Structure 1
Amino acid sequence: MLGNLHFVDLGIILLYFALILWIAWWVSRGSGKNKGERDSKDYFLAGKSAGWFVIGASLFASNIGSEIIIGVSGAGARAEMPQANFEIIAALMLILLGWVFVPFYLRSGVYTMPEFLEIRYSKACRNYLSVVSILAYVITKISLIIFAGALVFETMGISFWTGAIITIVATGFYTVLGGLKAVIYTDMIQTFILLAGTGAVTYFGLMQIGGWDSMLDTIAQAATKPENPPVESFFNLWRPADDSSYPWTGMLFGAPILGVWYWCTDQFIVQRTLSAKDISNARKGSLFAGFLKLLPVFIFFIPGVIAYALAQKGMLSFSLENPDHALPAMINNFLPIGLKGLAISGLLAALMSSLSSAFNSSSTLITFDFYKQYKPGASEKELVWVGQVATLILVIASFIWIPFMKTLMGGGLFHYLQSVQAYISPPIAAVFLFGLFFKWINARGAIIALWSGFALGMLRLFTEYMSKEGLLEIKSGSLLQLMLDINFLHYAIFLFIFSVLVLMLFSKWGTPKKEELLKLVTFSKNELNVKFKWSTDTVLTLILIACVLLLWIVFSPLGIIN
């Protein structure tokens, strides 16, 4: 055994690593007459040959990192179900990606989202998004993914440092070796492992407590104590508009703004759809991922609720003061030999798929938005080599960042870093979304909206951090205090509206780009006037929307759960 891990479970985990590395090696070899040869399209966009199933699974796996699993299950144990709304709303954003954004991305032939902004607006807009994206990936996304994996390693009885090194090296190796094709094919396998592992936790947790009704009875009995949350807090997605954390107004109107940025314009996600063989496969892949995004409510959040109920009955030992330990505790206590190894492999799969995606998308940005701009005549072989070197640099940067990250996680900065997306996404979402529909919006309006929105977002982030750390005294009733009192999702709404107004106002004062230059990146009158037609994609879309509405009703004050 390793720690509290049986050798059978350890064998399953090692088999998982072997399978992932073998798939990466197999994919990297290529096939046919080009076997062993790599060009930039093959390395960065998987040869633009990916089908809908692979794309959908990769979209899901890339998004679901171990920090999402552990965080959402922790929210279940804390009775904070509104957090699960981010997962549900993502399904709607994936519909938007497939129907609205993907056709323009594919027909324009871009490799990166900043490149798309240059075609639509200007090089200045491209440079803005490139720099902001890479900094956000390195400082927040990569560090968060690695740190969240510490709980997975502790479950295995392995120290943080050892586990982090193993995962970074293994993930970096297959990302460098196979590029996006290796990432999306390993993501596909990791999706099945992830779903099987977390599904097993949910099943055995419910069996341990005696079923769904027994869990509800346990929570209801615990709720009679004033220090415990009421039953409805565990099964209600909606909170009052004046709630300080997750008001329904913020969730319904603010969260989609973050979603447009993350799911429809972020290189980390969109690069998977760029690898599609055609628009139909890209759209179906987006819809498939949308259906998968409905599962976290049941396989991530509900296990947290089960863990809370088990703890109330004294059947599970984990600190309710740190609910993020809920899922690892359930894996340790209730899963039989073999399934424990599968569940840990699922958490590792979530960690590695997100990390490989962050590595690959960052290296793509570095290669095309910086190196190729510096050296336009670079050969295909050279671009692949630069991408591989860029990934290696990111792996090394991850090692260097770990000591600082561990220090920061003990303070308040980690929380503020996670608020970054609410403060940087609104202007980017506005520039992308409105730029598709209005040809008269121009580069002047876009760059002013991007920088002014960024300034207001960073002002909120900086002020929030400085005040909570006691480094800045803010007078009651001041403008800064009023700004801090706004919920972060409401602030995202304000930033979005502000950015849209600036975008339109300054565009009116400028000259629009020539219409012939916008054919590939804006809607035409014919496209906007298209008549509704029944197809497989439309049917799947309507079913997905119906599933979202059903979840919103079921997990609400009117729902059957309550």
Structure 2
Amino acid sequence: MHAITLISFLFFTGLVAFITWRVTRNDDHRSTGGYFLASRSLTFPLIAGSLLMTNLSTEQMVGLNGAAFTDGLSVMAWEIVAVIALVMLALFFLPRFLRSGIATVPQLLKIRFDDTTQLICNIIFLMAYAVILLPIILYSGAVGLQGMLDLPGLTGIQSDTALLWGTVWIVGIIGSVYALFGGLRTVAVSDTLNGVGLLVGGFVIVYFGLQAVSDGGGVMAGWDALKQANPDKLNSIGGSDQQVPFATLFTGVLLINVFYWTTNQQIIQRTFAAKNLAEGQKGVLLTGLFKLLGPLYLVLPGIIAFNLYADDGIRADEAYGHLVFNVLPPYLTGFFAAVMVGAILSSFNSALNSTTTLFSLGLYKDVINKDATEEQVVRVGKIFGWVMAAAAMTIAPMLAGQESLFGYLQKMNAMYFIPILAVVLVGLLTKRVPSSAAKISLIGGCAIIGLVYFVPPFTGLLDVIHDFHFVSLVFVLLVAFMLILGKISPRATAWVHEDSGKVDLTPWRYAVPSGAVLVVLVIAIYAAFAG
């Protein structure tokens, strides 16, 4: 069994690597535009594939299914509400980003406010990616692979600690090679190939999982058995004692999704590389359509695992890997593990590519060495990327023991998501708010959320108000503060959002009706499963 699993794993991993090399071997990896923005050549299939796969790593596959193992269908909020955020990206944010001709979100803040605001935002992003995002991607990937491939049995290593460290470093090194030698287009192509495998594999797991629930009686019989055995797990409306209470969909959950899909450098860098606005909008809205299918392969398997293994004493974040290993035939287990490695690599190399972009263009070129050539910028970015990768691979194993990986990720993300979103939104919607308001909000917002998260007695506030309601309250206060300061001490001249001329801004003619259809489908899905 192990031999078949390993052969199928190596075959699919090697196939993706070979095709990616063939497609991108003649790309421009020497200039900043070619390396960081794929020479602004991405069309909608590559944008959609890369957006989907950058998002769908094991912190999603393992973490969200683990959350579903505990709380059921209500955690689908992270997938379904994301569609609203993607519609906002396509119709509001993306036209303005492409008008600016930016490569990073902090560059927008430089255009709207000043150099110091850009510097602060760059530092916040880099610290968050180094300490939160990159380590969580590697840790969740290692946990998922250990379950899917039965790595203790495959390798003969029985020490959980040694296996965790080894898996993290192997995956981290491979992901670093993709990101740092290939550039953004290499990342986008490999993402798209792995995306096809992930969607196919995700639905195959649901098929075999439902078969297991029904003892071979068929998929529909398995679905009926699931509804009869655990009807409370199939309710889209989260209770007050669950990770995503229904009321938080309209506060913190919505705001975290809006930041993630509209202002998070790791995600939206591939939209900055769109060939034109129309291609960017089509890619973003196609991603929204795929996200509507997310509950089928990111939530339902966790509910199936609960039905099958609730009495076996497994932890929530081990449920998905346990299901895959037990219900898939060996040759498909290897294939899906390869897809999962692709998903890990996708998120890791996308985050690492974005990290090098933020450092190279935001700090090295703008602050450290303003006279650097494009080749110098790319070279220094690669060196910095290896340093960040090593730091992430060192921190990742230390995350072992978190009760809910996905819940931990969203909580930590909120600390910097909320201030940056508030500043970007106010910056785009107002003309007179000064740079001082943005700087105070960025630093103050992170500090306030950090105090309440980690410093007694401030942490007691979270006993009174839910985490997600709290961060939305901080968002409202930051926006109000900036607007008030804009009235008291406005900038001398109104800001004018000039067209950089770098991108064709002709919109896709069906963008608005397509966005409206996606919003209607979101409401319909919630209504269909409301208990």
In 2, Cα distance between equivalents of 1:445 and 1:82 = 37
C-alpha displacement at 1:385, in angstroms? 1.2
Q: Which residue of 2 aligns with 1:542?
A: 516
User: Conserved in 1, the CA contact under 8 Å of 2:68 and 2:303?
Assistant: yes
Q: What is the alpha-carbon distance in structure 1 between the residues aligned to residue 220 and residue 429 of structure 2? A: 50
1:513 Cα deviation from its structure 2 partner: 5.7
What pairs with 1:45-84 in structure 2 (closer than 5 Å)? 45-84=37-76
1:391 paired with 2:385, answer yes
Counting only pairs closer than 5 Å after superposition, residues 394-433 of structure 1 correspond to structure 2 as 394-401=388-395, 405-410=396-401, 418-433=410-425
In 1, Cα distance between equivalents of 2:462 and 2:93: 33
Q: How many angstroms does 1:412 deviate by? A: 7.4
Q: Tell me, yes or no, if structure 1 residue 204 matches structure 2 residue 208.
A: yes
Residue 135 of structure 1 deviates from its aligned partner by 0.8
Give the deviation of 1:57 after TM superposition. 0.8
Please list the CA deviations of residues 195-231 of structure 1 after superposition, one character each: whole Å capped at 9, or x if unmatched: 1111110011112223455446645665xxxxxxx62
Structure 2 contact 50–192 (Cα < 8 Å) conserved: yes
Contact kept, 8 Å, 2:54 with 2:343, in 1: the verdict is yes
Structure 2 residues without counterparts, runs of 5 or longer: 152-162
1:346-385, aligned counterparts within 5 Å?
A: 346-373=339-366, 374-385=368-379
Aligned-partner residue type, residue 16 of structure 1: F
Deviations, residues 440-498 of structure 1 (Å, cap 9, x unaligned): 222122222222222211111113xxxxxxxx5x5xxxx76335421011001111111
Equivalence for 1:227? none
Confirm or deny that 1:551 pairs with 2:525.
yes
Higher relative contact order (CA 8 A, sep 6+): 2
Aligned counterparts of 2:474 and 2:98: Cα–Cα separation in 1 = 29
Q: Which moved more, 1:93-102 or 1:538-547?
A: 538-547
| Percentage of identical aligned residues | 28
Aligned 8 A contact 1:442 1:512 in 2 = yes
Structure 1 residues 326, 410: CA separation in 2 closer, same or farther (over 3 Å shift)?
Answer: closer
Q: Mean Cα displacement is larger for which, 450-459 or 110-119? A: 450-459
CA distance in 2 between partners of 1:388 and 1:28 (Å): 18
> 1:305/1:221 Cα in 2 relative to 1: closer, same or farther (>3 Å)?
same
- 1:151 matches 2:143: yes
Describe the shift of the 1:323–1:510 C-alpha distance in structure 2 as closer, same or farther (beyond 3 A). Answer: same
Name the aligned partner's letter for residue 254 of structure 1: G
State the partner residue of 1:26. Answer: 22
Distance 1:413 1:252, change over 3 A: closer
Whole-angstrom distance in 1 between the partners of 2:377 and 2:347: 23
For the residues of structure 1 that align with 2:309 and 2:228, how far apart are their CA atoms? 13
TM-superposed CA distance for 1:408, in Å, is 4.0
Partners of 1:416 and 1:461 within 8 A in 2: no
CA-based RMSD: 2.5
Aligned to 1:136: 128
Matched residues in 1 for 2:127 and 2:34: separation?
26
Q: Give the whole-Å Cα distance in 2 for the aligned partners of 1:365 and 1:279.
A: 23
1:175 pairs with 2:173 = no
CA contact (8 A) 1:114 1:129 kept: yes
**Residue aligning to 1:166:** 170
Q: Which residue of 2 aligns with 1:231?
A: 231
Q: Are residues 388 and 142 of structure 1, via their aligned partners in 2, closer, same or farther at CA, if it must alter by over 3 Å?
A: same
1:321 CA displacement: 4.6
Aligned-partner residue type, residue 335 of structure 2: L
From the superposition, tell whether residues 214 and 356 of structure 1 become closer, same or farther in structure 2 (CA, over 3 Å): same
Q: Which segment drifts farther, 201-210 or 75-84?
A: 75-84
Counterpart amino acid of 1:196?
Answer: V
Q: Can you list the C-alpha shifts for 1:306-358, whole angstroms capped at 9, x where unaligned?
A: 2222236xxxxx84451222222222222123211221122112111000111
**SS state at 1:338 partner:** helix
**Structure with more of its chain in helix, by fraction:** 2
Q: Give 1:21 shift.
A: 2.7
Alpha-carbon distance in 2 for matches of 1:84, 1:513: 46
The alignment's TM-score, normalised by the length of structure 1, stands at 0.85
User: Post-superposition shift, 1:171?
Assistant: 1.1
Q: 1:560 maps to which residue?
A: none
Shift of 1:519: 3.2
Q: Give unmatched runs, 5+ long, in structure 1.
A: 223-229, 313-317, 464-471, 522-526, 528-532, 558-562
Quote the offset at 1:368 in angstroms: 0.7
The answer as to whether partners of 1:113 and 1:265 remain within 8 angstroms in 2 is yes
Cα deviation, residue 364, structure 1: 0.4
Mark the CA change 1:333 to 1:277 in structure 2 (over 3 Å): closer, same or farther. same
Structure exhibiting the larger radius of gyration computed from Cα positions: 1
Whole-angstrom distance in 2 between the partners of 1:21 and 1:285 = 23
Does residue 187 of structure 2 align to residue 187 of structure 1?
A: no
Distance 1:407 1:427, change over 3 A: closer
The whole-number CA distance in structure 2 between the counterparts of 1:124 and 1:417 is 28
Offset at 1:137?
Answer: 0.6
Pick from 265, 280, 283 the counterpart of residue 282 of structure 1.
280
Residue in structure 2 matched with residue 449 of structure 1 by the alignment: 441
CA contact (8 A) 1:27 1:178 kept: no
Whole-Å separation in 1 of the counterparts to 2:402 and 2:316: 18
- In the other structure, the counterpart of 1:498 is 477
Q: Secondary structure at the match of 2:489?
A: coil
Matches of 1:502 and 1:515, distance apart in 2 = 19
Give the TM-score normalised by structure 2: 0.90
Aligned position for 1:108? 100
